[in-house]
Amino acid sequence: MFDFLTSGQYDLLGAFWVTVQLTLYSAAGALVWGLALAGMRVSPVPLMRGFGTAYVNIVRNIPLTVLIIGCSLGLNQTLGIALGGSTFKEIGFRLAVLGLAAYTGTFVCEAIRSGINTVPVGQAEAARALGLSFFQVLTLIVLPQAFRAVIAPLANVLIALTKNTTVAAAIGVAEAALLMKEMIENEADALYAVFGVIALGFVLLTLPTGLLLGWVAKRVAVKR
Amino acid sequence: MKVFKAGAAVAAAVVLSLTATACGGSKDSSAGSDAGPSGGAKDKIVIGIKFDQPGLGLKTPEGKYTGFDVDVATYVAKELGYQPDQIEFKQAVSAERENLISNGDVKLVVATYTINDKRKAKVDFAGPYFLAHQDLLVRADDTSITKAEDLNKKKLCSVTGSTSAQNIKTKLAPEADLQQLPGYSECLTGLENKSIDALTTDNSILAGYAAQEKNKGKFKLTGLKLSDEPYGIGLKKGDKDLQTKVNAALKKMVEDGSWQKAVDANLGPAGYKAEPAPQITEGS
């Protein structure tokens, strides 16, 4: 029943490695973009607040599949944007990272913003009284405290992101979900085994993430 | 489209598991008594087809079913004693075909179903009723592809995970730049915009797309025979009786000319020369 694993026909580890890479690149992108968005949403400039609010509310409510396929059909096939890639493999991967980061960034932003709300207002007021600028208040006083409060929610976002990478199969990125499609096409007699193996792979990827970051969250939490 | 399909598959799986106990019994009993048409006008036969392949199995916006697979299914059902209004067509996406059959949700699957050994482990086939080959669809003015090796310098498109896509990667042209998209329609967009040079899958499917009204004259088939794909009619494993009857129906369809008529009507407009009807090899 599991002989498709040993036949050497499928590069299961390779496919999951692509999943991991997608996750890491997108997580990095989403963290940076989410921080920027969170900064915008709490900034004193109305235009930036407006943009941040509008972006978060629009993008997080667009289905991820629509975003990713939009990246491929719209950006690449229609507008010819290739993000510096020359083969479909590179282009697809980069577009998928772009789409995933743009989408996940909204959730990172909201998690961080909720963290900012846990920091007592007096902290920011005191910092401002010392003469720090808005940027300094945010990066030196508020964010370091806010971050420590939101490790656990960010871990949830990371786990969701790991699983969301399967959507990249829709534009042909050769990650685990695409391999599963190939296996189902060929292994009609081992359908449930194929599902089981892929599902197990994702549990093995996400379970340690949750455990580790849960532990970190406990360690660094600000006791109030 | 693939998204919709995947969603539909999940929904179908949930519904099936919920209703398996409820309908399983009644379906089995009707399956047992289908030796004769029995005159009961309420009797229905459920046949799985593709809903999204023009020329083979297509559900039109008006809710009609057209295509070569549909014609074959209708003919076979008639031979089994069911009038066209007693046929219920059900969508059989590729990954679901074996389960639909073994759960008893459909009696027959006529859905570009290539006969192979892995599939035969779960279901039985009748036929083959059609011999397709993997081929390429290119823009009508493109003459740069004459053999499989030419593909190594080309941008290709196929459906995610399909056998055709795997053939390209592992055997035919490992160097080719292969884009895998959820459906053939997405590939056609790229082919028209010249971001893709060729679309590859079974020639029967390609012919169906090329023959569509909106695509007429834009694309052509290269006529390369990159693989053999004998299409069979899937049925429940071990149902020798049904297998024999379906085989007899297929034989009759070829002999009385209905088969050729169906091929010409559905695949002819693309200038597609079908192979003659294949010998029936399954069963008997």
Peptide bond into B128 cis (omega under 30): yes
pLDDT at residue A179 is higher than 50? yes
Higher-confidence residue: B89 or A84? B89
Q: Cα A16 to chain center, whole Å?
A: 16
Dig out the tokens for A13 from the structure.
């580890």
The beta-carbon neighbor of B181 closest among A80, A171, A174 is A171
Q: Is pLDDT of B246 > 80? A: yes
Residue A186: pLDDT band (50, 70, 90) is confident
Q: Band of the pLDDT at A213, cuts 50, 70, 90? A: very high
Q: What is the pTM of this model?
A: 0.77
Examine the pLDDT at B39 and tell me if it is beyond 80: no
- The whole-angstrom separation of Cα B69 and Cα A209 is 48
Average pLDDT over residues B200-223: 85
Residue of A nearest to B121 (CA): A189
For chain B, state the CA radius of gyration: 19
Residues from chain B contacting residue A184 (CB–CB below 8 Å) = 95, 161
Chain A residue numbers with beta carbons less than 8 Å from the beta carbon of B202 are none
Residue count of chain A: 224
Would the pLDDT of B37 be above 60? no
Q: Is A72 on the interface with B (CB under 8 A)?
A: yes
CA–CA separation, B1 vs A168, rounded Å?
Answer: 14
Q: How far is B208 from chain A (nearest CA, A)?
A: 22
Q: State the pLDDT confidence band at B32, using cuts at 50, 70 and 90.
A: very low
- Interface contact A65-B190, CB threshold 8 A: no
Instruction: For chain B, give percent helix, strand, coil, nearest 5.
Output: 45, 20, 35
Nearest Cα of chain B lies from the Cα of A96 at a distance, in angstroms, of 13
In this complex, the residue of B99, B155, B193 whose CB is nearest that of residue A78 is: B193
**A positions 3-32 inside 8 Å of B (CB):** none
Average pLDDT value over all residues in chain B = 82
pLDDT level of residue B38 (50, 70, 90 thresholds) = very low
Residues of A in contact with B165 (CB under 8 A): 182
Nearest-CA distance A166 → chain B (Å): 12
A219 touches B at CB < 8 Å: no
Give CA–CA dist B281/B65, Å, rounded: 28
- Strand arrangement, sheet containing B219-221: B177-181, B155-159, B198-202, B134-139, B219-221
Distance from CA of A180 to the nearest CA of B (A): 8
DSSP structure string for chain A: --HHHHSS---HHHHHHHHHHHHHHHHHHHHHHHHHHHHHHTSS-HHHHHHHHHHHHHHTTS-HHHHHHIIIIIIIIIT---TT--SHHHHHHHHHHHHHHHHHHHHHHHHHHHHHHHS-HHHHHHHHHTT--HHHIIIIIIHHHHHHHSHHHHHHHHHHHHHHGGGGGGGT--SHHHHHHHHHHH-GGGHHHHHHHHHHHHHHHHHHHHHHHHHHHHHHPPP-
| pLDDT value at residue B101 | 92
Q: Where are the beta strands (DSSP E) in B193-257?
A: 198-202, 219-221, 229-236
Whether residue B45 is predicted with pLDDT greater than 70 in this model: the reply is yes
Neighbours of A94 (CB within 10 A): 19
Smallest CA–CA distance, residue B97 to chain A, in Å, is 9
- Any A CB within 8 A of B13 CB: no
Band the pLDDT of B33: cuts 50, 70, 90.
Answer: very low
Report d(CA A170, CA A168) in Å as an integer.
5
Q: Out of A172, A184, A189, whose CB is closest to B95?
A: A184
d(CA A199, CA A202): 5
Select from A41, A24, A22 the least CA-distant residue to A89: A22
Q: Return residues 158-177 of B near A (CB < 8 Å).
A: 160-163, 165-166, 177
- pLDDT tops 70 at residue A2: yes
Evaluate if residue B12 carries a pLDDT over 60: no
Q: What is the per-residue pLDDT across B106-125, written as a single tens digit (0 to 9) for each?
A: 999 999 999 988 888 889 99
Mean pLDDT of B226-246: 90
Interval A139-151: pLDDT, tens: 999 999 999 999 9
Confidence (pLDDT) at A37: 96
CB contacts < 8 Å between A and B, how many? 73
Task: For residue B198, list chain A residues with Cβ-Cβ distance below 8 A.
Answer: none
User: Which of B134, B160, B178 to probe by mutation at the A interface, max A CB count within 10 Å?
Assistant: B160
| Residue A23 CB contacts under 8 Å (≥ 6 apart), including other chains | A158, A161, A162, A165, A205
Tell which residue, B238, B235, B203, has the closest CA to residue B219.
B203
Chain mean pLDDT for chain A: 91
A110: its two tokens: 């909201």
Residue A66 C-alpha, separation from nearest chain B C-alpha, in angstroms: 9
ipTM > 0.90?
no
